[in-house]
Chain A
């Protein structure tokens, strides 16, 4: 409950100050703004869908990207039950990994983002466009376990992070299929119509990532991308011990930015937009906020990356109704008069069990037998002469 305590103390402080601040209008005004803003974000739970779409060892950095966002999101309070982590390949246990069971994000193996408690929900070949869209829209077969579902409601703030190889208008999944920006926009519209999110933050770290959010048309979506259309997102640094690039630049700097965030941070989205300027990232990160109803200045990072619960501490006691125990269940009269239900035989099982299929044996047709033996006899007598017939008769 680490997130609740600062919130609770903050709420208490705000309430106390509000009461005291009647005589200090200016101070009360600022604090009221803060309190209003505190209650304005409107979400009650947080979800995260983190997707890495590339396989093969040389795409190590995409898995490291996703895992570093996973790590930050978990550190800031979103539990595993509210995170859908999709990794298209296994880098930690890849036979080419010189340090098995680790995925590093900083060179010289400073930070292992794969720790002991990583829960991957969709792994390896399960990461497909179809599965991703089913997770988003909730149209999942009934046999899917809970950990693989996005059980969000209309008060959920969802963070969707995608990384991999992309192009102008598409993102490549698993080297075999693509998801287009139109499909993604339609999926988000389905989510909106099914009331599956309150607000949605979409971050994408691929080449020409901005093309993926061009087509969104549903309300309450804010999008960030690592590069504009026509630009490539570049990787950050290789580690000579592991042999591959460990992270992409944009996510690397986002990770560094998020390491500064704690659950009580007041940092807002505008700071996130400034992460990774062109001098560091080489590509130009982009963002889109026209669909979002709140001002990004007022949107806290922890609204999406953390799971900050709104907790209200009250000192009053609440008593439950004592007459609950006295409530008796009374069946309405008409139900007792009906006949007791009994099992109705629908199939004549006994009949079926004891009835064996009639064995209809096949016999060669009479004409065939006649013809065959006539031929054999003809051959016999042709060979040995008619005079042998006297031996027969």
Chain B
């Protein structure tokens, strides 16, 4: 599988290089969908310039990156385009390897369950075969690299690409089973933007599954392993934060990075839900609503963990999607990351109910974003409500996509154990309904 992957990588690099050299580069770079206050790479340039002048880079209002990014870009700022292309390639390769391993795990588990007779007799068409699973890793890499969202995010030089890369490595480490590396990469991802904290439960569940430790609250080995993993994670996080302190000899990166993510002071329009609410809200209520909105991101972890504890990788996918919808400064790069996983669940296609409408909604909204932005800002004939409406529609489309996949996944699991032709007690055909 190496040759097709190399071809895909080459094609992706060519596309990006071509776009960098073209006149579209500036146009794409200033799109608020691709890069916004949280991830702007122009802010990196400003931060470095401030450092050269002897001032803390966090004293300006637009630099909100972590010190490790400062260190990275200090040496690589002239090669910024190369850096972003390489991170994209690394992300794709990491996802490729991760999904390859994951397919093996899925296949093994499926074989085990068939041999244990856990599946109903008439579900032969639902079982995944190696033939159809053979090309999934390549499709994942393809989806990630050639996704217009990723290309846009790369050309805009948004540090979201670095974030995606760290998360991809984290997923690779988790699926390979190395708790230490997984904790380190998760700590790095959390250090950069706070939200990957919610990926801790799915990673933990996956590692527990891999170690064959049953998830019972009374089991001692469960708590032992959880404590180990949690302490690895927290220790690496603490070590990374202390190391960042030594870069600038000051703690003012903490309010600037994490305070910025949590308290959402910058209300430049982006594809998220925060800016419009907080632009029109009275000061009196903003603290309450900031808390509500932030809790919203972290809240879905618990019910999802309860429901999806047998399927941690799907849980991770849903969690990634929730992060990218509800985070405070989302960009299309975040959307691209979870969309890269869609080929992994391509066997759910027959159970997806709204896929046509949702894909239309997402495509139309992506096209309407720059149009309405132009109408609002440049032509002056629209206003922020138009842009916010498209943002809302886009996010609703994403939410419906995720819930569609969630429903399809659960439905398939139910059919696997109960058979495709469901009958009620009196023998008539039954319909499966999500309650």
- Interface set of A (CB-CB < 8 Å, partner B): 359-365, 367-369, 371-372, 375, 379, 382-383
Q: Are B54 and A360 in contact (CB under 8 A)?
A: yes
Residues of A within 8 A of B70 (CB): 364
Across the interface, name the chain B residue whose C-beta is closest to A383.
B181
| Cβ of B246 under 8 Å from chain A | yes
Which A residues are CB-close (under 8 A) to B51?
A: 362
**Closest beta carbon of chain B to A371's beta carbon, Å:** 5
A-B contact pairs, 11 of them (CB 8 A): A359-B52, A360-B54, A361-B52, A362-B52, A362-B74, A364-B247, A365-B249, A368-B246, A371-B246, A379-B180, A383-B178
In the bound complex, residues from chain B placing their C-beta under 8 Å from that of A382 are 180
Which residues of the partner chain B approach A360 to less than 8 Å between Cβ atoms? 52, 54
List the B residue with the shortest CB-CB distance to A357: B53
- Whole-angstrom distance between the alpha carbons of A363 and B74 in the complex? 8
A368 touches B247 (CB 8 A): yes
Question: Smallest CB-CB separation from B57: which chain A residue?
Answer: A362
The answer to whether B71 has its CB under 8 Å from any CB of chain A is: yes
B97 CB, nearest partner CB in chain A, Å = 15
B184 at the binding interface (Cβ < 8 Å): yes
Q: Point out the residue from B52, B71, B178, B184 that lies within 8 Å of A372, measured CB to CB.
A: B71
Decide if A375 touches B243 in the complex (CB within 8 Å). Answer: yes
Give 7 new A-B contacts, CB below 8 A, not counting A362-B54, A368-B247: A362-B52, A368-B243, A368-B246, A372-B68, A372-B71, A372-B243, A379-B180
Minimum CB–CB distance for B192 against chain A, Å: 15
What is the CB-to-nearest-CB distance from A376 to chain B, in angstroms, rounded to a whole number? Answer: 10
- Chain B 235-266, CB-CB to A under 8 Å as 1, else 0, gives 00001000100110100000000000000000
Q: What residues of B have a CB within 8 angstroms of the CB of A369 in the complex? A: 71
Interface size on B, residues (CB 8 A): 17
Q: Report chain A residues within 8 Å CB of B52.
A: 359-362
Give Cα A368–Cα B239 distance, bound, in whole angstroms: 12
**Closest beta carbon of chain B to A280's beta carbon, Å:** 53
What is the CA–CA distance of A361 and B243 in the complex, to the nearest angstrom? 21
Distance, CA A365 to CA B48, complexed state (A): 15
Q: Are A379 and B181 in contact (CB under 8 A)?
A: yes
Chain B residues positioned under 8 Å from A365 (CB to CB): 246-247, 249
A-chain residues with CB within 8 Å of residue B181 when the two chains form the complex:
379, 383
CA separation between A288 and B173, bound complex, in Å? 95
CA gap between A17 and B45 in the complex, in Å: 94
Enumerate the 9 nearest inter-chain pairs by beta-carbon distance, A residue then B residue, closest first. Answer: A362-B51, A368-B246, A368-B247, A362-B52, A371-B243, A364-B71, A383-B181, A367-B246, A364-B247
A196 to B337, CA, bound (A): 78
Min distance, Cβ A39 to any Cβ of chain B, angstroms = 66
Taken together as a complex, chains A and B put the C-alpha atoms of A359 and B51 apart, in Å, by 11
Q: How far is the CA of A365 from the CA of B247 in the complex (A)?
A: 6
Output the least CB separation between B83 and chain A (Å).
Answer: 17
Report the Cα distance A7→B366, complex, angstroms: 84
Note all chain A residues with C-beta closer than 8 A to B246: 365, 367-368, 371
Partner of B180, one of A364, A368, A383: A383
With both beta carbons as reference points, the residue of chain A lying nearest to B178 in the complex is identified as A383
CB proximity of B163 to chain A, nearest CB, Å: 19
With both chains docked as a complex, state the minimum distance between the C-beta of B59 and any C-beta of chain A, in angstroms: 14
Tell me the smallest distance from the CB of B53 to a CB of chain A, in Å.
8
Most chain B C-beta atoms within 10 Å of own C-beta, residue among A364, A369, A383: A364
CB-CB under 8 A for A364 and B74, given A359-B52, A379-B184: yes
Give CA–CA (A331, B126) in the complex, Å. 116
Shortest B176–chain A CB gap in Å is 10
Complex: how many Å from CA A179 to CA B294? Answer: 51
Task: Please indicate the chain B residues that have their CB under 8 angstroms from the CB of A368 in the complex.
Answer: 71, 243, 246-247
**Cα distance, A369 to B71, chains bound together (Å):** 9
Nearest to A362 among chain B residues (CB) is B51
A375 near B71: Cβ-Cβ < 8 Å? no
Residue from A362, A367, A375 within 8 A of B239 (CB atoms): A375
A364 proximity list for chain B (CB < 8 A): 70-71, 74, 247
Q: Please give the distance in Å from A294's CB to the nearest CB on chain B.
A: 62
